Amino acid sequence: MRRHSKDSVITDTVHTGPRHVAIIMDGNGRWATQRGRPRLFGHHAGARRVREVVETCPDIGVEYLTIFAFSTENWKRTQVEVAGLMSLFRRYISKEARALSEFGVRVRFIGDRVRLDAKLISLMDELETLTSGNTSVNLTIALNYGGRDEVARATKRLAQDVADGKLRPESVDEETLPKYLDTYVLPDPDLVIRTSGEARISNFLLWQSAYAEYEFIDTLWPDFSREEFTRLCASYGGRERRFGGVKR
């Protein structure tokens, strides 16, 4: 990973691109199958693609990048594929930790960690601690994450605070629940990209993406390039965002 100064500044005086981009990284398995290789070969290729996208973020003004690595529904895949993915996650964190830190990336994980193995959880904790002071890019990795699951867990915490007398029921509004979500320290995504030609959101950041712009592209994730990422972010800058209002 090329080095990036933590003190570097985007020189554009007016930045119209997305501040927070979320990506549903789809198509690894199909990419591998097209090449006559096992699905895990595609997942390894996809993991390598993450580095290029992260490195591109500071150059185009993207401060926050959230990637969908493993969903709560992905446990339905074969035991071999799931075990291989968990091994890949452990290897990725171990291998990339130093490079991410040197590049100035702050890493966070969202999702339910209960079902993950102890070694992986330990590596996740260590990476979050190692990069906690970085400011170049905020990389959030959704691991064992599902939007509905997140809202359900948040609601349980909120209900417990009401039961404990810490929160009055009549004070709960649409500004309250986000404080209990996994993403409570992050801004909502401006742009959500899904690769591989599928046009669905697959239970990803359901609450947070209420006003996000979406791009569904045919490119399989391992083929997703710096140039395509840059083009999509530039296209976002040309969109008119009214958030339910009208143009004056």
pLDDT, mean of residues 121-128: 98
Position 124 scores a pLDDT of: 98
The percent of residues in the chain predicted with pLDDT above 70, rounded, is 90
Active site residue 59: no
Position 133 scores a pLDDT of: 97
Whether 158 and 172 have beta carbons less than 8 Å apart is answered as yes
Residue 242 has pLDDT above 90, yes or no: no
Position 221 scores a pLDDT of: 98
Q: How many CB atoms lie within 10 A of CB 80?
A: 11
Cα-Cα end-to-end distance for the chain: 45
More confident: 237 or 88: 88
Which of the residues 28, 74, 134, 138 is marked catalytic? 74
Which of the residues 7, 12, 26, 161 is marked catalytic? 26
> What span, in angstroms and rounded, lies between the C-alpha atoms of 106 and 55?
13
Position 70 scores a pLDDT of: 97
Whether 27 and 196 have beta carbons less than 8 Å apart is answered as yes
pLDDT per residue as tens digits for the range 127-176: 999 999 999 999 999 999 999 999 999 999 999 999 999 999 999 999 99
Does pTM top 0.85 for this prediction? yes
Active site residue 223: no
> What span, in angstroms and rounded, lies between the C-alpha atoms of 60 and 233?
8
**Cα 214 from chain centroid?**
14
pLDDT per residue as tens digits for the range 7-22: 333 334 345 899 999 9
Give the pLDDT band (50/70/90) at residue 247: low
pLDDT per residue as tens digits for the range 200-223: 999 999 999 999 999 999 999 999
> What span, in angstroms and rounded, lies between the C-alpha atoms of 10 and 220?
30
